[in-house]
Amino acid sequence: MDDELCKKAKKQEKIKSMSQTEEMRKVKEQVIACQKCPLYKTRTLPVIGQGNHSANVVFVGEAPGANEDRTGFPFCGASGKILDNLLDFIGLARKDVYICNLLKCRPPANRDPKLDEINICSSFLEQQLEIIKPKVVCPLGRHSMYFLMQKYGIGEQVRAIGQIHGQMFKSKNIDMDLNIIPFYHPAVAVYNRDMLSVLQNDFLILKNFAVKAK
């Protein structure tokens, strides 16, 4: 009987995973076709996201950089190597999590995202989170931190990232039951190696959510 229940559960999980992958494919098609802001004219490739569509943990950066724009993959340069090392530090790998950005196209010269660009592009991120239904979302940097905390009903708790990095906040949005843990962008450790220990300490809180999605 236990074997039958196990097989049924595995079958249901497989169907769920296939459905999530199909829904994420639709989001990808929307991003590729999007011409709602001028960034589509200057990008090389959009960067939709990468990882497990059933992940417990989702990382949200701010916008693609030069390497990401060239390859179409998020966090594939120096910052990505640091992110990989931080994941390894807590026993996770890229295949266990989902990594994406607030903006799907690179702003020229890696400038900060503009408010109108965020307002237009954030709908894709919202769809991705609704499909994945993670337990925790980790904004990497102040722009994604501000957006996510405002979106999920805890905007009144926003402070400078130096004040709240590594702290856990519970969403007050009834449509999405999740935790938000703001982190410094991994790039801070590219320019200041002393920040690596700060990031490692912050990442330890994710061990509570390190159950790998099957």
Residue 214: inside a domain, yes or no?
Answer: no
Distance CA 41, CA 21 (A): 28
> CA gyration radius for the chain?
17
Q: What is the CATH number of the domain that holds 36?
A: 3.40.470.10
User: Tell me: the pLDDT tens digits for 122-149?
Assistant: 999 999 999 999 999 999 999 999 999 9
Q: What is the pLDDT of residue 152?
A: 93
> Long-range CB contacts (< 8 A, 24+ apart) of 109-116?
110/63, 110/65, 110/66, 112/62, 112/143, 113/62, 113/63, 113/143, 116/37
| pTM of the entire predicted model | 0.90
User: Tell me: the pLDDT tens digits for 39-83?
Assistant: 999 999 999 999 999 999 999 999 999 999 999 999 999 999 999
Token pair belonging to 109: 């010269």
> How much is the mean pLDDT over the chain?
91
Q: What is the pLDDT of residue 177?
A: 82
Q: What is the pLDDT of residue 47?
A: 98
CA atoms within 13 A on the CB side of 12: 6
Residue 161: inside a domain, yes or no?
Answer: yes
User: Coil, strand or helix: which one is 199?
Assistant: helix
Q: Count of domains in the chain? A: 1
Segments forming the whole domain that contains residue 178: 2-209
